């Protein structure tokens, strides 16, 4: 069941946010600029609105992911930072004295379960463009997108190609670092079919 948290809960320490968090803080600016209620519309279908126990507020969970991306943090570090950072607590609509922070595993489950059948990329692009246009950063109605394919430094191998790739890497290492000659390599290593027996029998390979 969804429990919406649109405002910071009442707290005798709420004034700390105005004292400690500066006006130019990125999370204060983001919170004031973006209406995050769109999250309810986009992923609400993956929740039960009337049954079950209360779930963590989807907007707050979405904000946790934004913090993770902006600050380039692990799930555990996001949670740890939130516990001691008033800027993050304000952004997440938590009380300054709040210590009951989510477990890192909750964030992982949210990513896996709540974004099912949700086109997150297009949603975020559309939302970003709308905000930019509403604030006068975009003029005109035409947007050109460069969709040129580029070669990435990521290569996918099937099992055979991967073995060949790793063997070639090993051979280059032996020749360059250990001054081996190709004719010095174990016969199994040169002809490729069964590599492990050759590795086990060749003592000079055992420490590499």
CB 58 within 8 A of CB 114: yes
pLDDT for the residue 1: 47
pLDDT for the residue 96: 93
DSSP string, 11-67: -TTTTHHHHHS-TT-HHHHHHHH--TTHHHHHHGGGS-SSSSSPBPPHHHHHHHHHH
Closest CA to 34 of 171, 103, 132: 132
Report which of residues 77 and 149 the model is more confident about.
Answer: 77
pLDDT for the residue 186: 60
**pLDDT band with cut points at 50, 70 and 90 for residue 141:** low
DSSP string, 193-204: S--HHHHHH-GG
CA distance 177 to 180: 8
Range of weakest confidence among 33-37, 49-53, 120-124: 49-53
pLDDT for the residue 24: 94
pLDDT for the residue 90: 94
**pLDDT band with cut points at 50, 70 and 90 for residue 183:** low
Per-residue pLDDT tens for 71-84? Answer: 999 999 999 999 99
Share of the chain above pLDDT 90, in %: 25
pLDDT mean over 112-120 = 74
- Does the pLDDT at position 199 exceed 90? no
Report which of residues 174 and 14 the model is more confident about.
Answer: 14
**pLDDT band with cut points at 50, 70 and 90 for residue 184:** low
pLDDT for the residue 91: 95
CA distance 196 to 37: 58
- Does the pLDDT at position 37 exceed 70? yes
Domain extent listing, the chain = 16-134, 159-205
- Does the pLDDT at position 207 exceed 80? no
pLDDT for the residue 114: 75
**pLDDT band with cut points at 50, 70 and 90 for residue 193:** very low
């Amino acid at each position: 069941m969804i429990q919406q948290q649109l405002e910071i809960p009442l707290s005798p320490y709420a004034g700390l946010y105005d004292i400690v968090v500066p006006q130019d803080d990125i999370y204060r600016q983001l919170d004031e600029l973006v209406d995050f209620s769109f999250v309810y519309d986009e992923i609400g279908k993956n929740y039960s609105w009337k049954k079950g126990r209360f779930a963590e507020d989807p907007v707050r969970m979405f904000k946790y992911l934004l913090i993770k991306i902006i600050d380039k943090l692990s799930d555990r570090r996001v949670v740890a930072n939130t516990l001691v950072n008033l800027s993050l607590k304000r952004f997440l609509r938590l009380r300054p004295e709040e210590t009951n922070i989510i477990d890192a595993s909750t964030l992982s489950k949210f990513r896996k379960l709540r974004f099912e059948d949700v086109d997150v990329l297009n949603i975020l692009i559309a939302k970003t463009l709308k905000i930019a246009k509403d604030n006068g950063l975009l003029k005109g109605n035409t947007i050109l997108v460069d969709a040129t394919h580029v070669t990435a430094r990521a290569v996918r191998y099937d099992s055979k190609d991967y073995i060949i790739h790793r063997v070639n890497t090993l051979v280059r290492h032996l020749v360059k670092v250990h001054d081996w000659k190709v004719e010095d390599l174990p016969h199994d290593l040169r002809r490729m079919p069964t590599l492990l027996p050759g590795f086990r029998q060749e003592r000079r390979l055992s420490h590499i």
